[in-house]
Structure 1
Amino acid sequence: MTLLTSELRAQLIANADDPQGDHVPVAKFFNPLGPGVWLPAFLHEDGQTLFGIGDLEVGCPEYGPFSLIELQCLDVGLGLGIERDILFETTAPISVWLDIANEAGSIRAAASIIARFEREG
């Protein structure tokens, strides 16, 4: 699977114009067979370093850089790799995701909480 479409890449690059901004996550990458979820907010000018929240589901999601190449090359088993959630949409900024993920213990747990808030408006 292509993790970054040209549209997603363009949005991540646009967000990099304000790296201190509280951007909405542009995509959601996940391990289909186990722990691991990443929410990128912007792409560094090197074109390979994403910044956002990474969560290996050990109870402490973190904001920082992660490698697009490493995500693309990761073999999680059964011939599968990291995938992109093609249905992912959110209006919550990365700071809200980080706060709720840390409180709930994971990005996956935060997703249901944030989805409920977004539905209720």
Structure 2
Amino acid sequence: MIASFLSDAQRAQLIANGRMALAQQDFDPLPVVKLFTPDAGATWLLSELDESGEICFGLCDLGMGFPEIGYVALAELSAVRGLMNRPIEQDLHFHADKTLSAYAHEARLHGRIQA
């Protein structure tokens, strides 16, 4: 279920960041949430959500050595399963300490998200 990925507070912050990104071209927020596959190597650091609450923006790492910034639909994430058919989980201990672009730069250097 999509709602299980995000708390109401996280959803509100993601939408607020999405609005700021539309208003400010150089807006570079901290990621709000980290999602991952517990039985595969995929990770997502999400920083923005569109007004519809369906499309997120963030750093996406599918575990193939090529992390990239882009868009992902929450509905698509809800369908993702790892090698043992486990759904995506949220890293409840994640606290962003740098901007999304800083995480992206580091991820490109290492071939994976370093969070």
Q: Distance in 1 between matches of 2:104 and 2:68?
A: 7
Q: Distance in 2 between matches of 1:58 and 1:26?
A: 23
Confirm or deny: 8 A CA contact 2:42 2:61 kept in the other structure.
yes
1:14 matched residue in structure 2: 16
Q: With the length of structure 2 as denominator, give the TM-score of the two structures.
A: 0.88
Q: Distance in 1 between matches of 2:10 and 2:28?
A: 17
Identity among equivalent pairs (%): 38
Structure 1 runs of 4+ off > 6 angstroms?
none
Q: Secondary structure of the equivalent of 1:17?
A: helix
Q: Distance in 1 between matches of 2:112 and 2:59?
A: 10
Q: Structure 1 residue 72: deviation in Å? A: 1.5
Q: Distance in 2 between matches of 1:74 and 1:95?
A: 25
Q: RMSD across aligned C-alpha pairs, in angstroms?
A: 1.4
Structure 1 residue identity aligned to 2:53:
G
Give the number of equivalent residue pairs. 109
Quick one: which of 35, 39, 42 aligns to 1:36? 42
2:92 matched residue in structure 1: 86
- The unaligned stretches of length 5 or more in structure 2 are none
Q: Secondary structure of the equivalent of 1:11?
A: helix
Where do 1:1-121 residues align within 5 Å? Answer: 2-19=4-21, 20=25, 21-107=27-113, 110-111=114-115
Q: Structure 1 residue 76: deviation in Å? A: 2.4
Q: Distance in 2 between matches of 1:9 and 1:16?
A: 10
Q: Secondary structure of the equivalent of 2:103?
A: helix
Q: With the length of structure 1 as denominator, give the TM-score of the two structures.
A: 0.84
Structure 1 residue identity aligned to 2:9:
E
Q: Distance in 1 between matches of 2:79 and 2:7?
A: 17
Residue deviations 1:21-45 (CA, integer Å, cap 9, x gap) = 1000000000000121000110012
